[in-house]
Amino acid sequence: MPGKKQKSESNSPQDLVLFKNKEAAKIKKSDKFTFETIDQEDKIKLLNDFRPYGGHYVLSLQLSNESLAPISEVKVKISFPLFFTIIRSYPPTLYLPESFEEEGMSKVNIEFDELNERSSKKINLHFAPLSLGNEGEIRTIVSYVNNKDYVRVIDSDPVSIILDKITINPKIIPSSYIREFSQIPGMKRAIISLGVGILSKGDPGFYFNILEQVFLRNNLQLIAKDADKKILWFFGSDLESRDDVLVVGQIVSDKVEIIGSSKNHHVLISFLTLFSNEFKEQILISELVTSLDQIYDLECKYCGAVLPFFPKRGEEVTCRKCNYEQIVW
């Protein structure tokens, strides 16, 4: 009968396979992570490095999340001495608010919403010394909310900074040695490029004479001079460290440039800071400008390369290295 046949088929062992008990059990054993069960302790790490870079210094921060869950409400608080100023940050898309003074220190706060699991974020802050003969420290504190909604704080070790005043000892070398000195292995090279923000075009000869006076007043030895091309070559050494420094001053494309070469990067930065500060002061004394804010550092705002020329007010200039268009003043 048809009814009995159907009952017999429903009791067939083959039909029991349709339940797939083994596969269901396998699914239950698969690993599933939830934020509540992930331990983030000691898996959020902060690395920092402070070193000379070109004519200034760079603080590199790397925040790493080695856990399997994100962290949120990340706040990076950086304190640094008043004799430093931040001139640039990386990545260029990073929003960097104005620094403020608090408890005798300059401070800046950087915030971002989240740092994903197994990821890291790197930030570079470029600092220029404002003066010499100072010492201080840089501190970095990071706070965040972990996957259990607890606030956690990481406090980095302080970075000590000493910017000694320099005493320059003149040193005579033949002009033929200039090229050879610049090519010594391990030689560091840096440049300070400035533009004087006045509406009328400045006199290159006037700037050239001020540069020469600044170098001579600081006891550098004149090695060579090309008055037509507006280039000066001076040589000297730091009396304390005994490290030699070749200094070139030039006026080119409406820029005033001071170029230094030395094997000691810290000494090189001190030389450039001293000479650029004195040049700015002389321009201010000459009443060409009414404020030091009218003298502009001609570094690309995006990559830090020296701009090809000092533009007129409101004129765009394109960086030759990264093609970033910018207005200097």
Helix (H) or strand (E) segment spanning residue 101: strand 100-102
pLDDT tens digits along 83-125: 999 999 999 889 999 999 999 999 999 999 999 999 999 999 9
**What is the pLDDT averaged over residues 16-32?**
41
Checking if the pLDDT of 287 tops 50, the result is yes
Smallest Cα–Cα separation from 144: which of 205, 221, 199, 75?
75
With bands split at pLDDT 50, 70 and 90, how would you rate the model's confidence at 240? very high
Checking if the pLDDT of 262 tops 60, the result is yes
With bands split at pLDDT 50, 70 and 90, how would you rate the model's confidence at 286? very high
Cα separation, 304 vs 320, in Å, equals 11
DSSP assignment of 25-50: HHHHTS----GGG---TT-EEEEEEE
Cα separation, 271 vs 169, in Å, equals 12
For Cα atoms 320, 321, 322, give the angle at the middle one, nearest 5 degrees. 105
Tokens 């201080």 locate to 136
Cα separation, 247 vs 240, in Å, equals 18
Checking if the pLDDT of 18 tops 70, the result is no
**277 three-state secondary structure:** helix
Q: Is the pTM of this model over 0.75?
A: yes
Q: What is the pLDDT of residue 275?
A: 98
Tokens 């009396």 locate to 239
Average pLDDT for the chain: 90
With bands split at pLDDT 50, 70 and 90, how would you rate the model's confidence at 19? very low
**What is the pLDDT averaged over residues 2-30?**
42
Q: Which residue has the higher pLDDT, 12 or 231?
A: 231
The least confident of 28-37, 214-223, 313-322 is 28-37
The least confident of 18-22, 107-111, 115-119, 239-243 is 18-22
Q: What is the pLDDT of residue 3?
A: 45
Q: Where are the alpha helices (DSSP H) in 147-259?
A: 177-182, 204-217
Checking if the pLDDT of 23 tops 70, the result is no
Number of residues that this document lists for the chain: 329
Checking if the pLDDT of 69 tops 90, the result is yes
With bands split at pLDDT 50, 70 and 90, how would you rate the model's confidence at 202? confident
Q: Is 311 exposed, middle or buried (CB count within 10 Å of its CB: 0-12, 13-18, 19+)?
A: buried
**76 three-state secondary structure:** strand
**What is the pLDDT averaged over residues 65-69?**
96
Q: What is the pLDDT of residue 25?
A: 42
Checking if the pLDDT of 247 tops 90, the result is yes
With bands split at pLDDT 50, 70 and 90, how would you rate the model's confidence at 37? low
Cα separation, 286 vs 266, in Å, equals 31
